[in-house]
Amino acid sequence: MNFELSDEQRMIYEYGDQVAKKYDQQYWLKKARKSEFTRELWDQVSEDGFMGIMVPEEYGGAGLGMLEMSLLMEGMANNGIPLLSMVVGSTMSLPVIADHGSESMKQKYLPDGCAGKTLFCFAITEPTAGTNTIRINTIARKKGDRYYLSGQKTFITSADESDYALVVARTRAHTEVDKKTDGFTLFVVDMKAKGVSMTELEMSVVLPEKQFQLFFDEVELTEDDVVGTVDKGFEVLFESLNPERIVVSSMCTGIGRLALNRAAEYASDRVVFKGPIGAYQGLQHPLAEGKTQIELASLMTRKAAWLFDNGKPAGEASSMAKVAAADAGMKAVDASLQCFGGNGFTDDYGLYDMFSVVRLLKTAPINREMLLNYIAEKSLGMPRSY
């Protein structure tokens, strides 16, 4: 693995610095505090050609990889403008369609998705199954040449802004299969289709993206809506989970780095007694430790992205990156808040809002404990705990 970024990768990483000149953290905070989608920023990122960064060029994308997507998301988070909608759309949905969709599906969805004209959400979590994806109950029953989708999903990011959902469903119930991972199928579902409805979830986290419960009541689908192979969608599904963990890690490291830089600048200028408070080791050491942990997590995130791009097993590194980055991000923002004192909790600085985001990402999209279970089993050879 080469630690030196290419000129193109450096440009992608620094794109956040450029777009933030127009759409900065104050723009993001204003939108987030109103739970209002960052449409202008979305359109700008799309116009600049970054929405389809992992989609082949022939379908309107940039033809790049996971590392470049990770660098993009980290660079934007460095500036306090994380976009969760790009996690579920640009990272989890469009590349899956590019890799496993039919040619007609690629032609239908990818060019407009890369141009930012249409948005995708990703629907997997269910109220009763939670982390146990094997036990999801949303099912698409085949009748003649049609499938009829029924069920419920929850914590679906930006469902209200999305034109389509990539829905993980069962085409055979878990009680009807010999192998528990059989019977899964991914469908592209039109959010305006008959039988699709949603209810907003009231959230305490400050974000521009809203969360929803989705309901499917005999939504009519065809073979043309299937991504991959019927009953064999579990493998396709898991291809999307490592990228999700990687870009979330990038967001956490970026937010942590932003907070630390703000705190270092503030502490160097803020005088309370004889000199700047940044001269006190009681503030220096937590910030220095935070910086160390953020950069370590960033390196593991880039390693996970490199492994994914090179077709190597990336589950272990992706899980470690997510654990490390969420922890590092939380500690970095917490140390920064302590440095700012009361000012850290005011709207002017926006630090506490960032804490709520990284705290969410410690739990979502998969909780820290399940990742540690995976690492214990796969890396240390310990008995499976679930």
Distant-in-sequence, close-in-space partners of 340: CB < 8 Å, separation ≥ 6:
262, 263, 266, 349, 351
| pLDDT exceeds cutoff 90 at 140 | yes
Token couple for 236: 């396709």
Distance CA 256, CA 12 (A): 19
Cis peptide before 365 (omega within 30 of 0): yes
Residue 44 has pLDDT above 80, yes or no: yes
Owner of token pair 């907070």: 259
The DSSP secondary-structure symbol of 279 reads: G
Last residue of one domain, picked from the residues 232, 260, 294? 232
Interhelix angle 315-340/368-378, rounded to 10 degrees, is 140
Domain that holds residue 213: 120-232
Q: Are residues 245 and 221 in the same domain?
A: no
Residue 146 DSSP SS3: strand
Confidence of residue 100 (pLDDT cuts 50, 70, 90): very high
Residue 385 domain-assigned? Answer: no
**Tokens 């705190």 map to which residue?**
263
Q: How many domains does the chain have?
A: 3
User: Rounded to an integer, what is the distance from CA 197 to the centroid of its chain?
Assistant: 23
Instruction: Determine the average pLDDT of the residues in 187-211.
Output: 97
Q: Is the model's pLDDT at 2 over the cut of 80? A: no
What is the Cα gyration radius of the chain?
Answer: 21
Handedness of CA 39, 40, 41, 44 (dihedral sign): positive
Q: Which of 114, 138, 165 is the last residue of a domain?
A: 114
- Find out whether 118 and 60 touch, Cβ atoms under 8 Å: no
Whether residues 139 and 18 share a domain: the answer is no
Is residue 78 a part of any domain in this protein? yes
The answer to whether position 383 is within a domain reads no
Q: Is residue 267 part of a domain?
A: yes
Q: Which residues contact 205 (CB under 8 A, 6 or more apart)?
A: 356, 357, 359, 360
DSSP state of 89: I
Q: Are 66 and 309 in contact (CB under 8 A)?
A: yes
DSSP 91-137: ITTHHHHHHHS-HHHHHHHHHHHHTTSS-EEEE---TTTTT-GGG--
Q: What is the pTM of this model?
A: 0.95
Task: Indicate if the pLDDT at residue 342 is higher than 80.
Answer: yes
Residue 1's pLDDT band, with cuts at 50, 70 and 90, is low
